[in-house]
Amino acid sequence: MKALFAKGYGVSYDDLKAWGGSVEFSSYEDGGNLLADNHLDCFAFSVGGTASTVMQIEQQVDVVILPIDDAARNALADAYGTVTFTVEPGVYQCVTEPVPVVGDYTCIVGRKDLPDDLVTALCRTMWEDKGNLEKAVGDMKELTPGEAVPEKVASHPAAAAYWAGVR
């Protein structure tokens, strides 16, 4: 979130504080509770396609999901390789028209010196056992070979080769 404010809008946490605001760091659940209890005015976080936290908050207080403008999304894409996700109507009660937001992907981070055969085996297992992984992590259904290795993210050569080979 710090990067969104800094790179997307040229605003620092110090700026927010100087304007009379404050910044709190908490878990999704605690942040949601603080918003629902009127202890926070805004709650910013990164989640997959559907977040039960947002649904829970909506049951307690009226909320709105704020769109992120093109310039801010593009600045983050250039800096970090993020993408635009769209929160579609019907996902949450408060969303009545498509809302563009910053999107990123769940990633697996490993050492650069991992053996190629191990990295290939990890990628193969993830792809070939995707159905079982989806049962535990719903966002896994979004995994595609074309998006498994984002262009602007440094990747292990064996991972890049595996995903290019299954496209």
Q: State pLDDT tens for residues 17-72.
A: 999 998 888 888 898 889 888 888 888 877 767 788 888 889 999 999 999 999 99
Say if CB 43 and CB 37 are below 8 A apart.
no
User: How far is it, in rounded angstroms, from Cα 87 to Cα 69?
Assistant: 14
**For the structural domain made of 2-103, what CATH number should be given?**
3.40.190.10
Tokens 């966002």 belong to 139
Domain boundaries, the chain: 2-103, 116-165
Burial of 102 (0-12, 13-18, 19+ CB in 10 A): buried
Residues 6+ apart with CB under 8 A from 4: 44, 68, 72, 76, 102
Contact 56, 48 (CB under 8 A): no
This prediction's pTM: 0.73
Residue 83: φ, ψ to 5° = -130, 175
